[in-house]
Structure 1
Amino acid sequence: MIAILKAAHIIALSIWCAGLILLPILLHIYGRRSEVRTQAGYSEFRWLTHYSYTAVVTPAAVIAVAVGTILIFALEILDAWMLAKLIAVCGMVLLHAWLGHLIVQAGEGRGMYATPRAGLSLLALVPLIGLVLWLVLAKPAFEDAVALFPAFLLEPRGNQIPARFDPL
Structure 2
Amino acid sequence: MDLRKSIRVIENFPKEGISFKDISTLIADGEALREAVNQMAKNLKDKNIDVVLGPEARGFIFGVPVAYALGVGFIPVRKPGKLPGETISVDYALEYGTDSLQIHKDAIKKGQRVAIVDDLLATGGTIEAVTKLVEMAGGEVVALDFAIELTELHGRDKLKGYEVNSLVKYDL
State TM-score, norm by structure 2.
Answer: 0.25
For the pair shown, the structure with the greater C-alpha radius of gyration is 1
Q: Which structure has greater helix proportion?
A: 1
More RCO (CA 8 Å, sep 6+): 1
Higher share of residues assigned strand: 2
TM-score (norm 1): 0.25
